Amino acid sequence: MRLELDAKSFGPRQVLGRLALSVARGERLAILGPSGIGKSTLLRILAGLDTDYRGRLEGADHLALVFQEPVLLPWRDAVANITIPTGCSAATARDWLAQVGLAGHETKFPRQLSLGQQRRLALARAFAAGPDILLMDEPFASLDADTAARMLALTDALLTRSGAGLVLVTHDPAEALALKARALHLGGDPARLQKD
Amino acid sequence: MTGPPRSPALRPGLVPGVLSILAMLLVWTLASQLTDRPQTLPAPWDVAARIGRLAATGELWFNAGMTLFRVVASFALAMAAGMALGLWMGRSRGADQWLNPGLIILLNVPALVVIVLCYIWIGLNETAAILAVALNKIPVVTVMIREGTRALRPDLDDMARAFRMRPWARLRHVVLPQLAPHVAASARAGISLIWKIVLVVEFLGRSNGVGFKIHLLFSSFDVTGVLAWALAFVAVMLAIDLLLLRPWESRANRWRQDAA
């Protein structure tokens, strides 16, 4: 997929300036920058959630999104939280749950899971959608160091196994390194991409 | 419906509830004994005896059944139309701005006016009766569902869009579970409002049902009969609340209760 952005504004304030970005299956990209710079906005544009910008978004890649928060359906159990949004079978859902280490938690509701488990469920949901490119928005932010390290290793393994591409938005260069992602820095006002 | 069987301890409020009903019966008994004209306020046992006679002849079941049919039909119509309108107005600012004046007018037109106009315009038939009741209830449901729709979680909306969920799946799995408390509240408030309006509709233009019976008894100032019909039907509505609405509510709210 390829994005050629001319400008993105919220009201009178221009947040993002001219920038171009492309990513393909198997490619890993990390967008780094301080908080409030417009990283999440850029990811929302890539995900098609924000269409109010000047520029062009091309490519028919199948995308899946992992949010800052797990964003699960609190009224559905773990398996249904995968099958309902992605449309995959219950067997596939159980398989992905096992791959993220949630075997045995299939019938639990999100509130019965710890935050770390909820995030792994969100990760399983994203991979169950069978994406060409996985979009992740600060998915390791509010986790303790141990859990974050395990989540990073898990994400890396699943990306390698599925061959999906990655666009990771983060403020932490170590995460980009751990996922072997090419790092791009977002900076300036309005923000543009700066290569290392 | 779910979880461990309910023991008395799990039903707080049962004892005070029963006691409060007994206290009301006591006050009624005392008042009926103190009044010098038994026709104005008959004793509870006279009313109970009348209910028994009505039930034995089958008259009670036929007329209560007709009233219940009208309640159910207009309730279903009002909930369906009110939820559709409320969702639409809560989601679309344009729809809200265009429809809101009409909604406010409908909210403030007296029930009696709607009923009389329906009978005149449509005729003294079942369609007019059910439509008149539903029209009185639709704006109330609309307002409650609209408020609930405005409070829908934007993050779940994003998730549904990011995963390209189909509209029907989104409505069923993302929107309706969030609206369940509002739907339950408007159903609860609706069912009691509706059966009161159904009686007026029957009083004015039907030849059966509890309202029609009360019309006949009113012309002969038969207070015992009026109370018998009213209480019998209140019992039916209470049974519906206890046996249908509450179990449904607790099932819909199951995910809230069993937090780890």
The answer to whether residue A139 sits within a structural domain is: yes
pLDDT at A34 over 90: no
Rounded to the nearest angstrom, the minimum Cα separation between A174 and chain B is: 27
Helix spans in A5-137 (H): 39-47, 78-86, 90-99, 115-128
Fold classification of B45-258 (topology level): MetI-like fold (1.10.3720)
Contact flag B255-A67 (C-beta cutoff 8 Å):
no
Closest-CA distance of chain B to residue A173, Å: 26
Please indicate whether, in this complex, the C-beta atoms of B159 and A86 are within 8 angstroms of each other.
no
pLDDT at B7: 47
CB of A112 less than 8 A from some CB of B: yes
Whole-Å CA distances, B184 to A113, A122, A167, B244, B251: 28, 30, 42, 11, 12
Q: What is the residue type of A134?
A: L
Handedness of CA A48, A50, A51, A55 (dihedral sign): negative
Same domain flag for A125 and A144 = no
CA–CA distance, A130 with A125 (Å, rounded to integer): 9
Give the span between the Cα atoms of B234 and B242, in whole angstroms. 12
Report the candidate in A186, A196, A192, A193 with the shortest Cα–Cα distance to residue A32: A186
A126 and A136 assigned to the same domain:
no
Assigned domain for A138 exists: yes
User: A155 and A98: one domain?
Assistant: no
Of A130, A147, A171, the residue that ends a domain is A130
Residue B74 has pLDDT above 90, yes or no: yes
What pTM, to 2 d.p., does this model score? 0.78
For chain B, the average pLDDT equals: 88
Rounded to two decimals, the ipTM of the complex is 0.86
Helices (H), chain A: 39-47, 78-86, 90-99, 115-128, 145-162, 173-178
pLDDT in tens, A85-143: 998 999 999 999 998 889 999 999 999 998 889 999 999 999 999 899 999 998 888 78
| Interchain contact, A112 vs B177, CB within 8 Å | no
Q: For residue A183, which of A192, A169, A191 has the smallest C-alpha distance? A: A169
Indicate if the pLDDT at residue B99 is higher than 90.
yes
B1: pLDDT strictly greater than 50: no
Cα separation, A138 vs A171, whole angstroms: 8
Question: What average pLDDT does the segment B20-26 reach?
Answer: 92
- Looking at the structure, do residues A58 and A112 belong to the same domain, yes or no? no
> Are residue A150 and residue A168 in the same domain, yes or no?
yes
| Same domain (yes/no): A100, A184 | no
For residue A88, tell me if it sits in a domain. yes
Q: Mark whether A143 and A170 lie in a shared domain.
A: yes
Top-ranked range on mean pLDDT: pick from A53-67, B177-191, B208-222, B229-243: B208-222
* Closest Cα in chain A to B166: A85
Whether A104 maps to a domain, the answer reads yes
When CB atoms are compared, the residue of A47, A80, A109 closest to B162 is A47
The alpha-carbon gap from A109 to the nearest alpha carbon of chain B, in Å, equals 7
Does A48 share its domain with A141? yes
Lowest mean pLDDT among A31-40, A46-55, A177-186, B1-10: B1-10
Contact of B183 with B52, CB cutoff 8 Å: no
Would the pLDDT of B70 be above 50? yes
Whether A68 is covered by a domain: the verdict is: no
Paired residues of A58 in beta bridges: A2
**And the tokens for B84?**
């559709």
Handedness of CA B236, B240, B246, B247 (dihedral sign): positive
Between B121 and A20, residue with greater pLDDT = B121
Judge whether A141 lies within some domain: yes
Select from A130, A158, A176 the last residue of a domain. A130
The pLDDT confidence band at residue A50, using thresholds 50, 70 and 90, is confident
User: Is the pLDDT score of B4 beyond 80?
Assistant: no
A135 shares a domain with A58 = yes
Cis amide linkage into residue A190, ω under 30° from 0: yes
Q: What's the pLDDT band for B11 if we cut at 50, 70, 90?
A: low
Give a yes or no: residue A67 inside a domain.
Answer: no
- In order, the DSSP letters of A111-137 are GGS-HHHHHHHHHHHHHHT--SEEEEE
Q: Both A149 and A183 in a single domain? A: yes
Q: Which of A130, A147, A176 is the last residue in one of the domains?
A: A130
- Report domain extents, chain B: 45-258
Please tell me what DSSP assigns to residue B241. Answer: I
Number of other CB atoms surrounding residue A161 within 10 Å: 10
Domain extent for A142? 1-62+131-195
Q: Where are the alpha helices (DSSP H) in chain B?
A: 14-34, 44-57, 59-91, 93-108, 111-122, 126-150, 154-162, 167-170, 176-205, 210-219, 223-240, 246-252, 254-257
- Asked if residue A151 and residue A178 are part of one domain, the reply reads yes
pLDDT, average across residues B232-237: 88
Total residues found in chain B within this entry: 260
Number of H helices, E strands in chain A: 6, 10
- The SS3 assignment for A31 reads strand
pLDDT value at residue B40: 85
For residue A17, the domain's CATH number is 3.40.50.300
**Structural domain total, chain A:** 2
